[in-house]
Amino acid sequence: MSEPVIKIENLSKQYRLGTIGTGTIAHDLNRWWSTAILNKEDPYLKVGDKNDRGILGDSEYIWALQNINLEIHEGDVVGIIGRNGAGKSTLLKLLSRITAPTTGSIKIKGRLASLLEVGTGFHPELTGRENIYLNGAILGMTKAEVSAKLDEIIEFSGCARYIDTPVKRYSSGMTVRVGFAVAAFLEPEILVVDEVLAVGDAEFQKKAIGKMKSVSEEGRTVLFVSHNMASIKNLCTSGILLNQGGVEFIGTAEETVERYLQDDLLAYESGEVIDKGGNKHVEIVDYQTFRGPNKSISFFTGDKLTLEVTLKFNEYIGNVDLGVNFKTTGLELISHINNFDEHVSISGNKGDVKKVRIIIESINFAPGTYVIDIGMVAVGEMLHSLENCFEIDIQKGPNIGRPNIFPKNAKVFTPTRWEF
């Protein structure tokens, strides 16, 4: 095996919860008194809960990462996965030197560049070309390096026509394209990438993934965080699963993704409805499926599902976009429906309470567990959104003749007719 290019030992990172107020100065003084004057241990390092979002802990301090030990070897393409709050971004931040660890050490061999966001430091008043230089320099390239690759960067971005226009006139997609184009031509020995590939249109995403793949094929070391299991499996050779600030599993990309999806299934059993809020000009006051009071419902592939959503209008809203998400337990969106699909418009005056029934004639999902979110948008602003409203457990019904189970990654059942 080749030598490690990144060696992480006993790495921990502690954060303080809540707001910074008068308590801070007291803690600061106390910490200073014990460490500097009494020469004792930092009193606040001892306390600290595990990083579990769902449970209300009684400590103000939390370990975002605790005792991480890892070795990453030259040429590895490592996918880092885990639920929100597992510590993925914290790990990347420590590696990129954005913040320092609380304990432990990281040793790196070779030049490391991190890409936690595309287009960092873009100045709206400067032109695309000027911003390419600026962004390149921020990412650690010299002016000469950028100049040498300028034509390629502009070509890759596909924005040649606008390159001498100030960036503030760009659409958000164009800004992202230019930003990614710069990053694509970084040539570090180690590349750290946060979920930045999930931007831009389909064509550009394909281009970006292709570029990532060619980078990894050149034998460079890549660390890649994503919630997109498909791209992890596609790009990475090995995987690391983080859970509540610790390393839970290390293995090949496939194995790690499997493990993660299994874990997630278990986690969903206790899943609560998450109220994501919104401006509440229209509120979701009730929702049901006519299948009993339980949040968890089960039926067969192809069954009819009726969702009834009760809306309360707190303002006059002329054109509500009411949407329903169907997601896998791995949080992969597999279907989205809304009222515009069927040319239905929803509006109401202040004070109106409306019941809307959404009748899905047949739910054609492959057997498995799915999660339903309900959300409303109007004129580009979130009105109200609820995540994880229902969990639907779909089983293979008697109408499907196939004797064996569906292939693992099939999510949609497509009814067909066979003729001879």
Residues that bind other proteins (CB under 8 A): 1, 3-4, 7, 15-16, 20, 24-25, 28, 71, 93-94, 96-112, 114, 116-117, 120-121, 123, 125-126, 130, 133-134, 137-143, 166
Kindly tell me which of 226 and 328 has the beta carbon lying closer to other proteins: 226
Cα(223)–Cα(190) distance, rounded to whole angstroms?
A: 8
Supply the minimum distance, in Å, between the C-beta of residue 13 and other proteins. 9
Query: What is the Rg, in whole angstroms, of the alpha carbon atoms belonging to the chain?
Result: 25
Kindly tell me which of 90 and 338 has the beta carbon lying closer to other proteins: 90
Kindly tell me which of 237 and 294 has the beta carbon lying closer to other proteins: 237
Which residues have a Cβ under 8 Å from the Cβ of 123 and sit 6 or more positions away? 130, 131, 134, 167
Kindly tell me which of 16 and 213 has the beta carbon lying closer to other proteins: 16
Q: For residues 368 and 394, is the Cβ–Cβ distance under 8 A?
A: yes
Which residues have a Cβ under 8 Å from the Cβ of 168 and sit 6 or more positions away? 124, 125
DSSP string covering 144-165, please?
Answer: HHHHHHHHHHHHHHT-GGGTTS
Supply the minimum distance, in Å, between the C-beta of residue 60 and other proteins. 13
Supply the minimum distance, in Å, between the C-beta of residue 100 and other proteins. 4
Cα(308)–Cα(374) distance, rounded to whole angstroms?
A: 11
Residue 237 structure tokens:
């050779």
Supply the minimum distance, in Å, between the C-beta of residue 20 and other proteins. 7
Name the residue type at position 266.
L
Kindly tell me which of 123 and 350 has the beta carbon lying closer to other proteins: 123
Supply the minimum distance, in Å, between the C-beta of residue 27 and other proteins. 11
Kindly tell me which of 20 and 38 has the beta carbon lying closer to other proteins: 20
Supply the minimum distance, in Å, between the C-beta of residue 166 and other proteins. 8
Q: Where are the beta strands (DSSP E) in 196-316?
A: 221-225, 238-243, 246-252, 274-277, 282-288, 296-300, 305-313
Q: For residues 290 and 332, is the Cβ–Cβ distance under 8 A?
A: no
Kindly tell me which of 75 and 367 has the beta carbon lying closer to other proteins: 75
Residue 100 structure tokens:
């320092």
Cα(138)–Cα(131) distance, rounded to whole angstroms?
A: 10
Instruction: Please tell me the chain's helix, strand, coil percentages from 3-state DSSP, rounded to the nearest 5.
Output: 30, 35, 35
With CA atoms as reference, report the closest residue to 98 among 85, 89, 88, 86: 89
CA separation, residue 55 to residues 155, 373, 387 (Å)? 49, 22, 18
Kindly tell me which of 104 and 367 has the beta carbon lying closer to other proteins: 104
Supply the minimum distance, in Å, between the C-beta of residue 15 and other proteins. 6
Kindly tell me which of 130 and 352 has the beta carbon lying closer to other proteins: 130
Supply the minimum distance, in Å, between the C-beta of residue 103 and other proteins. 6
Cα(289)–Cα(310) distance, rounded to whole angstroms?
A: 12
Residue 12 structure tokens:
């921990």
Supply the minimum distance, in Å, between the C-beta of residue 128 and other proteins. 14
